[in-house]
Amino acid sequence: MNFLVKSMDRKGQNEKTVYPKEKAVIALEAIRGIKTISQIASEHQIHPVAVGMWKKQLLENMPKVFTEKQERDDKQKTIDELYKLVGQRDAELTWLKKKLEPFSSP
């Protein structure tokens, strides 16, 4: 997701824009477990619930990093096969048109 998140401080006065890269860094920090979620949230001036949410999202989506490449490769292979099939059909059609030329009416 390439959108920005604006989080308010505890008093609801100031907004802070959190970019996707920063969210990933914060989530990784939470996964490492060196600091508590509250400490991380305090350092980055965001709500602890947001840190927990981003950590959960990162953990859920990590396997996609490794499977998406395989899916792209499979899709590209299918596309290549379809282009090959279209080329074969085009060549067959051209050959048939040449063979049927003597039978066409003038």
pTM over 0.75: no
Q: How sure is the predictor about 106, in pLDDT bands with cuts at 50, 70 and 90?
A: low
pLDDT of residue 1: 44
Residue ranges covered by each domain of the chain: 5-103
* pLDDT, tens only, 37-95: 999 999 999 999 999 999 999 999 988 877 777 788 888 999 999 999 999 999 999 99
Q: What is the DSSP string of 50-84?
A: HHHHHHHHHHHHHHHHHHHHHHHHHHHHHHHHHHH
